[in-house]
Chains A and B, each alone.
Chain A
Amino acid sequence: MTTDLAGLKTNRRTVLGGLAAGGALMLGAAPRFVQAQSSAPIKLGFQLHRTGIGAAYGRWYERTTQAALKLLNDQGGINGRPVEIVFEDDGTDPKRGAEVVEKLTTQAGCDLIFGPLFSHVVIGSAPRAGELKVPYLVCSEGYHVASGMLNRWTLQPGITDVRAQVSSMAPWVMQNLGKKVTMVFPDYAFGHDHRDFFTEAVKAQGGEVIAQIAIPPTETSFTRYLPQIPAETEVLYHVMVGPAVLTFVKELGEFYGSGARPQIFGFIDSLEAVDTAAPGLEFLEGTHFWEGHCRVKQADAPEWEGTYRAAVGVDDNGASVSDARDVSTYAHMFSCWETLFVIKKGMEASGYQSTADRQKFVEAIEAMTAFDAGLDHVQGAKTFNGKTHQVFGQQFISKVEGGKLMRVHATSIEDGVYPDAVDYTAQSF
């Protein structure tokens, strides 16, 4: 018997032989993805702040995620299937964010969505994810996940929230820097978390917040706010976001200059993507910063730290290897990396096959309790609270020494744990 296959005269024996050879070739070429029931790639959506006020974060979140994706696929993908990520820009805009969630889910056909940072965008987008019943893994630090404000489909397994961050560091600030605190923060959800929980934590330590200065996140000049800082302030606590962060820190420097100044404790957010040795920032010498992940490679860094930096393309000072002026958002971007590996664990634990398994995936993540430090959790070990959908990790306090951030204190995970405010597992899907 002969058949006409692709214009060639062949018989059954050659066809079978060809099939076997082709199969062997495929096995040889892609041995890592063989055990999958479906070998179609798993498609993850990434809601990216590529433009708008979050652009500096977006640039590095994309690089970090690409690097994590490469490692993930080199390790064999998820459930034996290759993984691909669809990046979609939300302009750091809550309205656009909700549309991006919808676009990634319904048009791009993504299995789940992760990656957004800015809290107003997350709060604006998460309800749409809940309506579409798509897992939504945010990297936003805000307390809005653990507070119960969002929904069962929204999880934060990659980064500690602000409430845990500030309450774990408040004791150190009180004991080492001073008890009378003035806070400067952006006037929206993320800043309000700082205001509420740091004030509360300071009170618990016997200190006092004597002034709270809220600044609109789109503000471009800060000189007029700085005289509001009371003269008796012992510690100035600052956290700022957006494209004007450099202006803010510079104007703070102009304001205090070489004169007497209080102790300054800042969130690195005020300086993310900014070189700490930039001209005009000399006054930062000796001030302290919170860091989620130390920008400058510390002497006792674990061995995977170097692998992570090389993969993302960051040098030992936290700047891009190709351009030393391109400073990374190092203290935050590990959250994308870690979230991707949590997704892998969740999909493998739930035996995820298709979008029909989305609910099983969320339940699998809720069942997780701890992550060990390692190349998949580069920032360090973490505990996960399935009821509040929130992860807890170590926080670092660094001091600027010679223009570089050197770690002086690390909190323990327990320092930041607070009572549950919600049980998402009791909510319906």
Chain B
Amino acid sequence: MAAVLALSAVGLSLTFGVMRVVNVAHGEFFMLGAVLAWVVAQAVPSAPLGFVAALILCPLVVGAVAALADTAILKRLNYDPEATIVATIGISYILQQGALSFFGPDARAVEAPFSLRLQFPWFGYSGYKLFVVIAAGLVLLAVWLFMTRSRAGLVMRATQVDRNTARAFGINVDRVYAGTFALGAALAAVAAVLIVPIQQAHYLMGHDPLLLSFIVVIIGGLGSIRGTLIAALLIGLSDGIISMFFTPTLAKIVATLAVALVLVFRPQGLFGARA
């Protein structure tokens, strides 16, 4: 849970860090990834093959949709912070209702690529869930390497630090923005494809990840991948542990309280740089 949360939160964090866009539609990109995973899994006969196909195709498609949304809508608003919030709310409704119209209101299961079960003496645990943790870790590592080692990552970080100077150095900021938005959405889609064999694809599933992603990103510090990761672990684990020993409501209260405290005492987040 924490691993998947980290994936989708890093996506959100990237979008905000580089573009200064609060992407309210992020949860719906997550949902879109899950729904597309079901579509792909239906089209491919064998379960493992379908899963692999979904893992490759869905982030690409979702990324393309996001890039389109960026060039067609956000760019025209000049990335004005308030207008983009309203615009992404609009995009989220379009995606959600679109999924309802074309996919239907039912929850659909996607078969896991393998159904290994680990049997401990007192309880069992799904091997697939461990796989999800490892896979999410690998993707996060890849994102981190991409951001710190590759030229494209350098360009993105340059844009993040100063948009105008970056432009002056001949960086095509529009393309960087579209790419970042697509990458953020694609990460949400990867998270969704990984989670969909555990949960099920459903048109309302975007709410929870969005909320939790925001909590994580605020606590971790907007735009900081390291902070986002640590906050995702923190929130994911505390959510699990508190729900287990107390009640799930208390877990949500604690998470929300943590956000409030962070905003009061350290508005830039635990690891965020001062703006």
Contacts and interface: CB of A to CB of B under 8 A. Distances in A.
B100 A254 contact: no
B93 interface: no
B119 A243 contact: no
* Chain B interface, DSSP helix/strand/loop, else mixed: loop
B126 interface: yes
A255 interface: yes
B107 interface: yes
A52 B124 contact: no
Contacts of B111: 279
A368 interface: no
Interface string B86-129: 00000000000000100011110101000101010111111001
Contact of A247 (B198, B204, B240, B249): B198
B250 to A, nearest CB: 12
B268 interface: no
B205 A220 contact: yes
B119 A258 contact: yes
**Could you tell me the dominant secondary structure of chain A's interface residues?**
loop
A248 B106 CA distance: 16
B106 A257 contact: no
> What bracket does the count of chain A residues touching chain B fall in?
35 or more
Interface size class of B (residues with CB under 8 A): 20 to 34
Interface string A227-249: 11001000000000001101100
A148 interface: no
B107 A244 contact: yes
B100 A51 contact: yes
B123 A52 contact: no
B244 to A, nearest CB: 5
Nearest to B207: A218
Contact of B105 (A58, A221, A223, A231): A58
Contact of B106 (A56, A259, A279): A56
B171 interface: no
A243 B247 CA distance: 21
B96 to A, nearest CB: 11
B263 interface: no
Contacts of A228: 244
Best-buried of A58, A218, A221, A244 by chain B (most CB within 10 Å): A221
A280 interface: yes
B105 A52 contact: yes
A414 interface: no
Contacts of B204: 52-53, 243
B123 A259 contact: yes
Interface of B: 1, 100, 104-107, 109, 111, 115, 117, 119, 121-126, 129, 198-200, 202-205, 208, 240-241, 243-244, 247-249
13 contacts: A223-B129, A224-B241, A226-B123, A244-B199, A246-B107, A247-B200, A254-B117, A254-B125, A254-B126, A258-B124, A259-B119, A259-B123, A278-B109
Interface of A: 50-53, 55-56, 58-59, 214-216, 218-221, 223-228, 231, 243-244, 246-247, 251, 254-259, 273, 278-280
Interchain residue pairs A-B with the least CB separation, the first 10: A243-B107, A55-B105, A257-B124, A51-B105, A254-B126, A243-B202, A224-B240, A224-B244, A220-B199, A224-B243
